[in-house]
Chain A
Amino acid sequence: MANVKLTNVKKVYGKDTVAVQDFNLDIADKEFIVFVGPSGCGKSTTLRMIAGLEDISDGTVEIDGVVVNDLQPRDRNIAMVFQNYALYPHLTVFENMAFSLRLRKTPQEEVYKRVTEAAEILGITQYLTRKPRALSGGQRQRVAIGRAMVRDSKVFLMDEPLSNLDAKLRNQMRAEIILLRQKIDTTFIYVTHDQTEAMTLGDRIVIMKDGFIQQVGTPTEVFDMPVNLFVAEFIGAPKMNTFKTQLVREGDKYFVTPYGARIEVTGKKAGELLAKNVESQEIILGVRPEHMTLAKAGDADAIPCTIRVNEMMGSELHLHVEEANGDRLIVRIPTITLEDEQRKSMTYGQTLHITFEGKVMHFFDVQTERNLLA
C-alpha cells in the first residue's frame, strides 16, 4: 500500500533506441492505474522499470517516498503477475504460491494460512497439490495471481495478465480482477493493449504511444475528451471515424461541411469553440460510430454512401460504408431501431444516407492532430 511516483523516467536500449521518454506520473495510494497502448509503446518497459527488471536510464522511480532506482526487485516489495504466468514448473501450486514466503523464512503455519486464504479467494483450493502443467490456462492465471496475493506487497503489478486467455475466459477473469481489487485493496498498476480492459478496470488510464504518454485521465475523461487523434482512435470500439473537413464560423455559429453536407455544431461543443474563439479552418473531424445515424436522402445533413460490409452483431449492426471519394466510415446502429425490411435492404453495394448530431463531434488540428478544445 503505497503511492508510486515516476519523475522524468527514460529508458534507452543500446545507444539510441528510446523506449520510454519523459514519463511523469503520480500514482496515489490504492489507485488502480492502467497503462494502455499499442505494442511497442513502452508500457511494459515502464512497468518493468517499476519492478526493477529493467535499468532506469534516467529519472527516478519512487515507491512510498523512497527512490528505488538502485534497489533489486526483491528489495522493492512489489508483487507481479506475468503475461505467460511464469509458474515454476517443478513446484506444486502450493509451493508456487509459498515461494516468496519461503524465501523470507516465514513460519510454516503462517505460510499455510496465507496460501490457503488466497487459494480460497481464487477458488483453487482443490488444485493446491497439483503441478502447474496439470492446470488449464485460467487456473494457471489464478495461481499466478495467488502467488502475488500472498505477500503484503506495496504495489501489485500486472503485465498483460489476460492476453493469453481466450475471449470468454478473459471477460470472466476481468470481472474477477475487479472483485479481487476490492479484497486486496492496494495500489495496482496494470498493463494491457486492450482498451476495453483499460476502460473497465482502471481508476485512471495512461495512454502511451512511441514511448510518450499521450493522455492520463479517468475512463470518462479519455473517452469524452481525447487530447489528440491517436487517443480518439485508440479508445472506443469500433474506432472513431475521422475525416478531413472544413469548420466554418458564421458569426457565433459553427458549421462543419463533411462530404458536401452541412451540419451545425450544437450543445456544449459550440460554446467551447466560441470560448476559444476558433476561426474557420480545415480540421480533422471525429465522430464515433455509435453517434452516426441514418438520414433521409435530400436532407442538408445527409451524406450519401455505399455499403461495403454489413456486420450483424446481434444487438447492433456495424455498417462499413464507403463515401463517394473513397473514405471508409463505420456506422453502428442498434438493431431495435430498424424495420425488418430496412435491415434486409442493407447489403453490399446499396446506397445509404448517414448523418450525425451536432453535439457529439471532436475537432482536431490538421497539423498537430491535437484536440482543438483540449
Chain B
Amino acid sequence: MKTETKIKKSGLGARASRRISNTIVYIILIAITLVWLFPFFGIVLESFKVNTTAMDGELFPEVWGFDNYIRLFKETDFLKWFRNTAIMGVATAVFQTFFVLSMSYTLSRLRFKARKPLMNLMLILGMFPGFLTMILIYKVFSELGLTMEMAPVGLIIVYCASSGMGYYISKGFFDTIPKTLDEAARVDGATRMQVFYKVIMPLSGSIVIYTILMGFMAPWGDFMLASYIIHENSAGMSVAVGMYEWLSRTMVNSNYTMFCAAGVIVAIPVTTVFLCLQKYYVEGVTGGAVKG
C-alpha cells in the first residue's frame, strides 16, 4: 500500500518536472553569462566614446569614434609598453616552461634522496609572500642595471628564476602517466633522458601547451612585482603598470576612455591566444586538481 501512495505523490511527470528545472537553469545561466560578459562589452563601448574622456555613467557612447585609439598611439608610450609586455610574455613562456617541466617531471617520475626534502622546502618557501624577495632583488638589479628602462629583462629573470616552484599542476599531470611506461622503455634500452624526450614528452602535449600559456599570460596580469622593478620609469613599463597610472585620482577624468581603448587592445591578443588554447587550459586546471 505504502509504495502505491508514494508513486502517486509525484504528481508531475518526470519529463515535465525536468523541463521546468531545465528552464530555471537556463534562466540562471543566461543571467550569469550576461553578468560575466557585461564588463567586456562595457569596455569596448567605453573605448569608442568621443564626447568624453571621463566616466559619464552612460553605457553607450553619444558620439562614436576612434579618437581614444588614435590618442593612445600618438600621445602615450602605450606601444612601447605593449612591446615590452609581449617580449616578456614570449620569453617567460619559453624559459618558464623549461623550468617548470624539468622540475615537475623530476619530482613526479624520478626518485632520489633529496626529493621529499626538496618538495617540503618549496612548500615552505611558497608560504612566504613572493613580494618580500623583491626588496633585495630590486637592490641587486639596480646595481646590475636591470631595473627602470631595462626592467623587462629583470622581470623576465624574476618571473622565470623561481618558476620551478609552480610545479604542482604539471606534476599532477605527469603522475597520471603510468610508471610502467618508463619501466618498459628502460628495459627496452632507453636511458632516463631518452625516456623523458622519447616517451613522456610526446604524451604531454597538453600540459606543455598549458605551461606555455601560463608563462605567456603572467606578465600581462602581474602588477605587484612589475611595479616594483619598473619604479615608474615609462620606458620600461609593462601595460599593467603603465595603464594603472591613468586611473589614479588625478588622471582618471582625462584618461578613462583611453584606458578602456588600451584595455581592448591588450585583451585582444591575450584572449585570442587563450581561447584558441582553451582546451589545454581546461585540461591543465582540471587534471591538476584531480590528479587523474
Q: What are 5 A-B pairs with beta-carbon distances under 8 A?
A: A52-B186, A74-B191, A86-B178, A86-B183, A104-B189
| CB pair B186 A53 closer than 8 Å | yes
B199 interface hit (Cβ, 8 Å): yes
CB distance from A73 to the nearest CB of B (A): 5
A51 interface hit (Cβ, 8 Å): yes
Contact residues in B for A78 (Cβ distance below 8 Å): 187
Contact residues in A for B191 (Cβ distance below 8 Å): 72, 74
Query: A196 to B199, alpha carbons, bound, how many Å?
Result: 35
Q: Which residues of B contact A (CB under 8 A)?
A: 178, 180-181, 183-191, 194, 199, 202-203
Size of interface on A: residues with Cβ below 8 Å to B: 24
A259 interface hit (Cβ, 8 Å): no
List residues of A (144-161) whose CB comes within 8 Å of B's CBs: 147, 151, 157
Q: Pick from A72, A79, A86, A100: contact of B181, CB below 8 A.
A: A86
Contact residues in A for B187 (Cβ distance below 8 Å): 51-53, 73-74, 78-80, 157
A251 interface hit (Cβ, 8 Å): no
Query: A89 to B177, alpha carbons, bound, how many Å?
Result: 10
| CB pair A84 B180 closer than 8 Å | yes
Q: Which residues of A contact B (CB under 8 A)?
A: 51-53, 72-74, 78-80, 82-84, 86-90, 99-100, 103-104, 147, 151, 157
Number of A-B residue pairs with CB-CB distance less than 8 Å in the complex they form: 55
| CB pair B180 A86 closer than 8 Å | yes
CB distance from A310 to the nearest CB of B (A): 36
Query: A62 to B43, alpha carbons, bound, how many Å?
Result: 73
Q: Contacts A90-B202, A90-B203: A82 and B180 contacting too (C-beta < 8 A)?
A: yes
Closest to A77 in B: B189
Query: A215 to B203, alpha carbons, bound, how many Å?
Result: 43
Query: Can you name 4 extra interface pairs (CB under 8 A) apart from A82-B183, A83-B180, A90-B202?
Result: A86-B181, A100-B188, A147-B184, A147-B188
Q: Pick from B178, B181, B188, B199: contact of A74, CB below 8 A.
A: B188
Contact residues in B for A99 (Cβ distance below 8 Å): 185, 188
Query: A92 to B24, alpha carbons, bound, how many Å?
Result: 49
Q: Pick from A72, A86, A104, A151: contact of B184, CB below 8 A.
A: A86
| CB pair B186 A74 closer than 8 Å | yes
Closest to A157 in B: B187
CB distance from A353 to the nearest CB of B (A): 49
The residue in A51, A79, A80, A88 that gathers the most chain B C-beta atoms within 10 A of its C-beta is: A88
Query: A73 to B192, alpha carbons, bound, how many Å?
Result: 11
| CB pair B194 A103 closer than 8 Å | yes
Query: A79 to B184, alpha carbons, bound, how many Å?
Result: 9
Query: A74 to B190, alpha carbons, bound, how many Å?
Result: 6
| CB pair A82 B184 closer than 8 Å | yes
CB distance from A44 to the nearest CB of B (A): 11
Contact residues in B for A72 (Cβ distance below 8 Å): 186, 191
Q: Which are the 6 A-B pairs with shortest beta-carbon distances?
A: A100-B188, A86-B184, A86-B180, A74-B189, A103-B189, A90-B202
Query: A82 to B179, alpha carbons, bound, how many Å?
Result: 11
Closest to A51 in B: B187
Query: A100 to B195, alpha carbons, bound, how many Å?
Result: 12
